[in-house]
Structure 1
Amino acid sequence: MSIKTSESALPESAWFKSSYSGGAGGECVEVAAAGGAVHVRDSKSAAGPVLTVGPEAWAGFLGLAVERLD
């Protein structure tokens, strides 16, 4: 896992906003899959830090998140 504080080198078109992000702000997360990794950022701060994890770690996180929703 890494966290970069500089602007992402990924194009804006690579980022997808979470379907759980509300229109009123707050929980706004964007994800981009590129270069064999998954990149996560706050959509309200596109130039802010980007968390980068491997696909296995991301899949594990999603599995736990889905369990919590059930």
Structure 2
Amino acid sequence: MPAIKVRQTIQPVAETQPEEGVYLFDMGQNFPGWWRIRTEGDTGVRLRVKAAETLNDSLFPTPLQPG
């Protein structure tokens, strides 16, 4: 079986901050793959990442399909 290879790297097309400490990134498309996130800050600070295909009216991610 051939190794899995990176075929494309994409950047967000939009970034918003709806409230303090919350950031939303619009990638412009639905895609499979991995995330690489680079940050600066104190060791031990938690970063929570959620993926979704759409946003509901209160700006929370809503997956179109469970799983």
Length-normalised TM-score, structure 1: 0.30
Point out which structure has higher relative CO (alpha carbons under 8 A, 6+ apart).
1
Length-normalised TM-score, structure 2: 0.31
